[in-house]
Homo-oligomer: A and B are copies of this chain.
Amino acid sequence: MPSRYRAKFINSLSGYKSANLIGTKNINGQSNLAIFSSVVHLGASPALIGFIMRPDNGSRHTLDNILQTEQYTINQVSADFYQAAHQTSARYPEDENEFVTCNLSEHYIDGFKAPFVEESRLKYAVKLKEIMPITINKTQLIIGEIVHVICEGSAIQADGYIDIESLNTVTASGLDSYHTSQRLARLSYAKPNIASAELKLDATTEQLIFPSDANKAQ
C-alpha cells in the first residue's frame, strides 16, 4: 500500500478513538496544546491514564514540556470546538501558542501550572508517573496519575458514570473523522447464565435502576 493510504487504512482498524487535547507549559511559561486520539484508561485505583507518543521527529513540544514540568492536562473535545481542536495538529513553531492560534482559552487552577482548555466540559490534571519506551516502533507510552477532575456536575450519574454523551464529547475514527454519539444502552454487569439488561433512570428519583436491585426488591 502507498504510505498515506496505509496510514489511513491501518488507523481505522482499532475502532473509535478518544479525542483529547493535552495542555502543557514549558519552564519558560510558554503554553502548548495538541490533540491526541490515543488516550487510554489504565486503571482506577490508582487513577492512571496513558497515551501514545509517536516517534521523535525533532519537534514534540508536548513531550518536551511534560519532561520539563511533569504536569499536563487532558481535556475532552466536544462538538462545539472540534475543528479548533483538529487544527492544533498543524506543525506550529515552538514559540507559537496553539491556544491563541486556534482560538481556544487557557484556564488554570491553584497549585497546577499546566493550562486547561476552558471550553472543555470534562478535563483533568495529570502528573507524570512513567515513560515506557515501545522499542519495536520507537513510540512511547506516557503514563500519568489523575490528580484533579473538573466536570460539569449534571453529567455525573448516581453510580459514578459520567454521561459524556450529554457533554457533546466527540469520538474520532481514522486520522481525520469526528463523530458525536447516540447511546444504544447501558448494560448491567455481565454474569454467567444471566442475560445483561439495560440500566434505566428512574424518572422520579433520577437514580439508576439496576436489574439486580430490582430483583432484590421483588
Query: Which residues of A are interface residues toward B (Cβ below 8 A)?
Result: 1, 3-20, 37-50, 52, 74, 76-77, 79, 82-83, 86-92, 96, 101, 122, 124, 129-130, 132, 134, 136-137, 139, 141, 143, 146, 149, 156, 159-162, 164-165, 169-171, 173-192, 194-196, 199
Contacts and interface: CB of A to CB of B under 8 A. Distances in A.
Q: Which 10 A-B pairs have the closest CB atoms?
A: A15-B18, A16-B171, A12-B162, A5-B160, A8-B160, A179-B181, A9-B160, A10-B44, A90-B190, A43-B137
13 contacts: A5-B159, A7-B44, A12-B162, A13-B162, A15-B20, A16-B18, A40-B40, A46-B136, A86-B187, A90-B191, A170-B184, A176-B199, A182-B182
Contacts of A41: 10-11, 13-14, 17, 37-38, 52
